[in-house]
Chain A
Amino acid sequence: MASDERIRDIGLIRRSISRPELGSVFGLIIIVITFMTLTSISGTFGAMWLNPIGIQAWVELAAFVGILAIGASLLMIAGEFDLSMGANIALAGHSFAIFLLFGVPIELAIILTFLELAFLGFIIGVIVVRTGLPSFIVTLAFWFASRGFAVFLSQTFFNQSRLSVKANLKPPPGGGEDPTLIDNIFAFDKAFGVPFDAEVYYFIILVFIVAFITNRTPYGNWIYASGGDPVAARAVGVPVARVKISLFMISTSLACLLGILTVMTSGASDPKAGDFRELHAIAAAVIGGCALTGGYGSVVGAVLGALIFAIASRGINFVPFIDNNLFRVMLGMLILGSALLNQFLRDRIVKG
């Protein structure tokens, strides 16, 4: 009797089709082949794919957008949204710079900035969870407020919107003084003498940690359930509100990491830092297979999405016969195409 109720076996192909990353794997292959072809035609193949500076250009952008996309994808899986990520990069950078300019030791300044941004994430999360307002609206408010507050502070205390902290940062290793632990952690590109910015290493480490958490821990399960069907999740004891608040805190903390790294590497905090990056991160998450409706997606997909975004974004500079403005057209089509493909793949799963 049991045999006629048997669930039919699904093959390897069907099973891999049900992975949310699938669309972005195809996307990445297509974009790499496209740009390899285009750069070959333009005679810039070596400059983009073999030259360290060329590689640096898109890898570092992928890492920057990718770190934000980790937060964006986690939130989207949980059915939420953070438009304030880019603005929070500026808030973090300015807060960090202001702490330094007030003479706070660098280690303490880093801790304080992280606490401030995590607290901001907590506030955003509590507002979203308690009021039931869409997170789109709540974080739109902070998209204005965070950057506004950052510039307000720097204008009030230092009468300028761009804050230079070169003098407050330790000189880079080899520049005379011995590097401190913090220099090593936050600028270990210089410490190790490798060509990439520190973002790239943080990005790789974070991807592994977060991918592991989402796939292999109860918390990861709860993130998916909170976005899939919050009522059902609550009914079986998932602390949906706490999960969502924690994800907003992760999102603001990732913005904080980027804000501090930007200041450490450039020696100044720019009020325009991170402008529009929230949209790039969301684009990466969408290309990577996250559903806006929640419950579906993957961090690895978002990372591939960031890579696609970065290759297309930087690659266009290596292809002189295509107008730079066409890049945005292409990016728009890429997002639309990915969203359609991902929706199709998702429906396949539900319909069996």
Chain B
Amino acid sequence: MIPSIEFRGVSKFFGNIIALKDISFKVFKGEISALLGDNGAGKSTLIKLLSGVYMPSEGEILLSGEPVNFKSPRQAVSAGIGTVYQDLALQPLMSVTRNFFLGREITKGLFLNMPLMNTITKKEMAKLGIDVADPTQPIGTMSGGQRQTLAIARAIYFGANVLILDEPTSALGQKQQLEVLRTIKKVKELGDIAIIFITHNDLHAKLLGDRFAFLNRGKVLAEGSRDEIDMNNLRPLMAGGAELEKLEIEFSGR
């Protein structure tokens, strides 16, 4: 199977700073690729490379086997890469429907087609397991988990076949974290979307991940499918630095 996204020896430098060095990994559709790393590991830089904010200094990014070179976030979006940032890009005082369609409203002549947009919003949210009783209510009344789901549903509806989730659970309470994990699983079950799940929560990664990549100080320490990675070693891998040598030996045999 051709990976939806493949990084081949990608590096990113900012002046003399090496943000990412020789990064390689693959992401397949219908799979959740967990990208783990502590703060400062280079996760943000990686997201920005994927979503077209930065261009790689070295190496190439392949989209369904074709090398791509996004010059702007807009290009990445139109190529089907949907990024859900931590801040979600939502307007708390606007309604659920208006948030869903903001910037891409459906109109009937000059005017908004609110009934149609309300229906679509309800339907798309239901696909991810959230029953929106009233899509005209302000989004401020939704829980953090539901907002996350809205941002994900929106990205999918507007054509994302690669979905990048930037720490979707980090700002939430326990119960809402589970809500979001459930949403992510639903997205996977849709079958045609490749999910990049960026997190520093090894528990969440273990729950959902089909493939794993460990990022530490700008390098991929280890990469592989569930079978290839020692699941019990997720936490030490996350810690990176301290156990670096040991881990390098452990994985060099692969």
What is A's interface to B at a CB cutoff of 8 Å? 1-3, 5-10, 15, 18, 216-218, 220-222, 224-225, 228-229, 231-233, 235-238, 295-296, 346, 349-352
Contact = CB atoms under 8 A, between A and B. Distances in A.
Contact of B91 (A217, A220, A295, A351): A295
Interface residues of B, number: 37
B90 interface: yes
Which 10 pairs between the two chains have the least Cβ-Cβ distance?
A: A237-B103, A232-B89, A352-B141, A236-B103, A350-B140, A218-B105, A228-B91, A235-B89, A238-B103, A216-B111
For the complex, would chain B's binding face be called helix, strand, loop or mixed by DSSP majority? loop
Nearest to A220: B112
A5 B131 contact: yes
B18 interface: no
B129 interface: yes
A116 to B, nearest CB: 28
Given A7-B146, A232-B91, 9 more contacts: A2-B129, A6-B131, A6-B133, A217-B110, A221-B102, A224-B93, A228-B92, A232-B88, A236-B103
25 contacts: A2-B131, A5-B129, A5-B179, A7-B130, A7-B132, A10-B134, A10-B137, A18-B137, A18-B138, A217-B110, A218-B112, A221-B102, A225-B94, A225-B102, A225-B103, A233-B91, A235-B89, A236-B89, A237-B103, A238-B102, A296-B93, A346-B93, A349-B93, A351-B140, A352-B142
Contacts, number: 107
Interface string B226-249: 000000000000000000000000
A349 B91 contact: no
B254 interface: no
A28 B141 CA distance: 28
Contacts of B87: 231-232
Interface string B50-82: 000000000000000000000001100000000
Nearest to A346: B93
A235 B158 CA distance: 14
Interface of B: 73-74, 85, 87-94, 98, 101-105, 107, 110-112, 114, 126, 129-134, 137-138, 140-142, 146, 179, 182
A224 B131 contact: no
Contacts of B85: 235
Contacts of A7: 130-134, 137, 141-142, 146
A229 B94 CA distance: 11
